[in-house]
Amino acid sequence: MEKSKRRLQLAFSLLFGLWLPCCLTQTTPSNSRLKVRLAGYPRKHNEGRVELFYKGEWGTICDDDFSLSNANVLCRQLGFVSATGWTHSAKYGKGQGKIWLDNVLCNGGEKSIELCKSRGWGNSDCTHDEDAGVVCKDERIPGFVDSNVIDATVDENRVEEVRLRPIVAMAKKRLPVTEGVVEVKHKDGWAQICDVGWTIKNTRVVCGMLGFPHERKKNHFHIHSVACTGTEVHLAACPMEFSKPNATSSCEGGMAAVVSCMPGPLFMQNSGLKKKLKTSVNNVRLKGGARLGEGRVEVLKDSEWGTVCDDRWNLQSASVVCRELGFGSAKEALTGGRMGQGMGPIYMNEVKCVGLEKSIWNCPFKNTTSEDCQHMEDAAVRCNIPYMGLENTIRLTGGRTRYEGRVELLSSDSNGTQSWGLICGESWSTPEAMVACRQLGLGYANQGLQETWYWDSSNVTEMVMSGVKCTGNEMSLSQCQHHKTVNCQKAAAKFSAGVICSETASDLVLNASLVQETVYIEDRPLHMLYCAAEEDCLSKSAAKANWPYGHRRLLRFSSQIHNIGRADFKPKAGRHSWVWHACHGHYHSMNIFTHYDLLNANGTKVAEGHKASFCLEDTDCQESVSKRYECANFGDQGITVGCWDLYRHDIDCQWIDITDVKPGNYIMQVVINPNFEVAESDFTNNAMKCNCKYDGHRIWLHNCHVGDALSEEAEKRFEKYPGQLNNQIS
């Protein structure tokens, strides 16, 4: 027994034996920003036990002398506008570890809890039965970019960063690196891991950290060493030991640990296998994220997409989603609709994945009701993705901040020499800017610019790319369509492409069910349509009518347009350039805000309408969200996050002129922001479609849905026409 005990001690002394004779434990620098998080259960995303990260360790705050002023300071640090209350006596459960602060006294205006008076760090006479909590107002500070993140409960200062060092010479030139020696960041260099007892579970954790969903099934290792279970999201969460400072041999009987990872479909070289795996992933998706591998989690049920509620949402469940989508483990599990709010059903609540499940649908969860969850609680993720080096081949120059400037690409000439070059500004628009900002790692596109004479600070003048056409989903500009040979009519540098990027963006979605509920036909006399004719809201045949006699047949309906994004939707043009229309007595802030179309079976328009944004305003908002935009008295126009703009069925131009349409079956289509004039985080949900039956006297709409709400199979059943690809009127 004593002998086996000594063996066990020897094994643990070799655990994670680094090939550097020192310990990796570090402390948080005193000048680093204090981390704050909410923890405990049961709770919503905007409430919980307060925990602070200080000197490399999470700890709590005692409730002695706690006040609403303290709670206000903490809630603002977390990105909420204010506190609505605070709790005592460990309402959200008892914490662990240190009680960092006691007798905290804030006046309410401090920028951080550490600036308030207290007994000092770690000086407390409390137990964890007295842990304090806060309840924050569920409204985010505008522009607050730090997420309400659920962190891994590990000390990442032990193992901060992991990489694979390729062994084969050819592999060094290929990205991503999927196989190599495991190395961890240590001081100013890199240290290797001893492979004694290395298991396939350890490999799974390393691969997940590096952005790979699976490990290759090759295991030639020995007994138990670094003891991962396989569900961890970071190597630092696995039990391990570090080599002693004076150890003579840190890896006796072993060598450097080597792992081999299987990349997801997006990062595979084998196109056949790539296509096969890509088509198999169809029950979960990410929406609303600016970067690859992040977004609001949506799952497919009964051919309709819905969201996941954030109650009990954690890194293990988030990692299952990430791996299912072909990424690595989860870097962050986000709560509180931090990647925008969905519009459809909420299918899951209290998801409890272990971390080894193949799909989130294999995890235990509760079905939701409207009382349990709302879309302001939609769960989201940020996944680990493989390093591709794409940001090294693009840069911005001349801008006032790092988020804006003229786009320059790194390319190679016939001799293999790299020099930086420009992109022709012709045809450059928002979708192309979205890809550029994503490749740069700078979030969403705010604007795509075709002229950049005001950013002329670089000596780069050669055009290296032209005719760029992106869908908006590509990882880099090189994946977009473009001319094989540069062909640019305006080849001067001042006509090269530029971008303005942003960490947040709006996202407009139409309430499809309201359109279906409010539709009707009106025969409106011509003498009541002079203003509508002036604003081009009638079909062309109206010009030949015998004014003011006769009428036009109008298909009328209401439009309720929600902003579910993370930034307010505002017209691109400033109010100084808005156009006054005297007939209706209002300003147009956007020339075309929506298209209304009636399409026949082959997708050709048989009737159309359009809506200028004569009054973008907050008609109403979610609970706890305040209106910001109102059109009265030449007020500022826009739609606030969490609010909606309602165009009632009985106002001018809220129709399609179907006077010339014959009875039959059609598709009605509404497209918001059709020209991408204002940047959004997601354009796939800007179109709404309905089946339409017209018998010459009455009209029926059914199956109304937003463009991305149904599965691919359900969408194919709904329509067999090319949609917006053919928008000529027959």
pLDDT in tens, 465-488: 999 999 888 999 999 999 999 898
Nearest to 139 by CA among 82, 86, 85: 82
Q: How far apart are CA 14 and CA 16, in angstroms?
A: 6
pLDDT at 178 > cutoff 70: yes
Tell me what the mean pLDDT of segment 668-683 comes to. 90
Identify the pLDDT of residue 279.
Answer: 45
Identify the pLDDT of residue 243.
Answer: 63
Q: Which of 93-97, 261-265, 329-333, 710-714 has the weakest average pLDDT?
A: 710-714
pLDDT in tens, 186-210: 767 788 888 888 888 988 998 999 9
pLDDT in tens, 104-140: 999 989 999 999 999 999 999 999 989 999 999 878 8
Q: How far apart are CA 672 and CA 660, in angstroms?
A: 25
Tell me what the mean pLDDT of segment 260-288 comes to. 74
Q: Which of 191-200, 304-313, 692-701 has the weakest average pLDDT?
A: 191-200
Identify the pLDDT of residue 98.
Answer: 92
Identify the pLDDT of residue 729.
Answer: 35
More confident residue, 28 or 49: 49
Tell me what the mean pLDDT of segment 416-433 comes to. 89
Q: How far apart are CA 80 and CA 335, in angstroms?
A: 13
Of 177-186, 240-249, 398-407, where does the model show the most confidence? 398-407
Contact 607, 660 (CB under 8 A): yes
List, in order, residues 6 or more apart from 504 with CB less than 8 Å away: 143, 145, 443, 444, 565, 566, 567
Contact 640, 664 (CB under 8 A): no
**pLDDT band per the 50, 70, 90 thresholds, residue 281:** low
Nearest to 321 by CA among 349, 350, 353: 353
C-alpha 730, offset from chain centre: 40
List, in sequence order, every beta strand (DSSP E) within 557-672. 559-563, 579-581, 586-588, 594-599, 605-611, 620-621, 643-647, 655-657, 664-672
Tell me what the mean pLDDT of segment 362-386 comes to. 88
**pLDDT band per the 50, 70, 90 thresholds, residue 141:** confident
Mean pLDDT of the chain: 83
Identify the pLDDT of residue 247.
Answer: 57
More confident residue, 277 or 193: 193
Looking up tokens 């302001």 gives 376
**pLDDT band per the 50, 70, 90 thresholds, residue 282:** confident
The reply to whether 271-384 shares the fold of 35-136 is yes
- Indicate the domain borders of the chain: 35-136, 159-262, 271-384, 390-502, 511-720
Q: Which two tokens stand for residue 6?
A: 């000594």
Q: How far apart are CA 202 and CA 225, in angstroms?
A: 9
Q: How far apart are CA 450 and CA 115, in angstroms?
A: 47
Nearest to 444 by CA among 453, 452, 434: 434
List, in order, residues 6 or more apart from 567 with CB less than 8 Å away: 502, 504, 505, 506, 641
Identify the pLDDT of residue 28.
Answer: 31
Contact 201, 238 (CB under 8 A): no
Nearest to 689 by CA among 674, 703, 673: 703
| CATH class of this structure's domain 159-262 | alpha beta
Tell me what the mean pLDDT of segment 54-66 comes to. 91
Tell me what the mean pLDDT of segment 141-147 comes to. 67
Q: Which of 281-290, 400-409, 584-593 has the weakest average pLDDT?
A: 584-593
Tell me what the mean pLDDT of segment 66-89 comes to. 91
Q: How far apart are CA 690 and CA 667, in angstroms?
A: 6
pLDDT at 172 > cutoff 70: no
pLDDT in tens, 513-554: 999 999 999 999 999 999 888 888 898 899 899 999 999 999
pLDDT at 360 > cutoff 90: yes
Of 3.10.250.10, 3.40.50.720, 3.20.20.140, 3.20.20.70, the CATH number of 35-136 is 3.10.250.10
The continuous run of DSSP H or E covering 713 comes out as helix 712-718
Q: How far apart are CA 379 and CA 338, in angstroms?
A: 8
**pTM assigned to the model:** 0.74
Query: Is the Cα torsion angle 306, 307, 308, 309 positive or negative in sign?
Result: negative
**pLDDT band per the 50, 70, 90 thresholds, residue 26:** very low
| Burial of 715: CB neighbours in 10 Å, binned 0-12, 13-18, 19+ | middle
pLDDT at 23 > cutoff 70: no
- Per-residue CA distances from 169 to 5, 175, 212, 268, 417 (Å): 43, 13, 21, 19, 22
The angle subtended at Cα 680 by Cα 677 and Cα 681, nearest 5°, is: 155
Contact 469, 410 (CB under 8 A): no
Identify the pLDDT of residue 274.
Answer: 55
Contact 612, 593 (CB under 8 A): yes
Identify the pLDDT of residue 351.
Answer: 94
List, in order, residues 6 or more apart from 400 with CB less than 8 Å away: none
| CATH class of this structure's domain 390-502 | alpha beta
Identify the pLDDT of residue 244.
Answer: 60
pLDDT in tens, 206-258: 899 998 998 886 543 322 357 888 888 888 788 776 666 555 556 777 788 88
Identify the pLDDT of residue 10.
Answer: 35
pLDDT at 591 > cutoff 80: no
Strand partners, 301: 304
pLDDT at 25 > cutoff 50: no
Contact 519, 574 (CB under 8 A): no
Identify the pLDDT of residue 690.
Answer: 93
Q: How far apart are CA 253 and CA 718, in angstroms?
A: 64
Residue type, 13: S
Identify the pLDDT of residue 30.
Answer: 38
DSSP string, 488-517: -SS-SGGGB-EEEEES--B-EEE-HHHHHH
For domain 271-384, the CATH superfamily is SRCR-like domain (3.10.250.10)
DSSP string, 95-135: --SEEEE-S-B--S--SSGGGSB-S-TT-----GGGB-EEE
- Per-residue CA distances from 68 to 9, 134, 578 (Å): 51, 9, 45
Q: How far apart are CA 244 and CA 263, in angstroms?
A: 36
Q: Which two tokens stand for residue 416?
A: 């293999």
**pLDDT band per the 50, 70, 90 thresholds, residue 275:** low
Q: Which two tokens stand for residue 202?
A: 């350890």
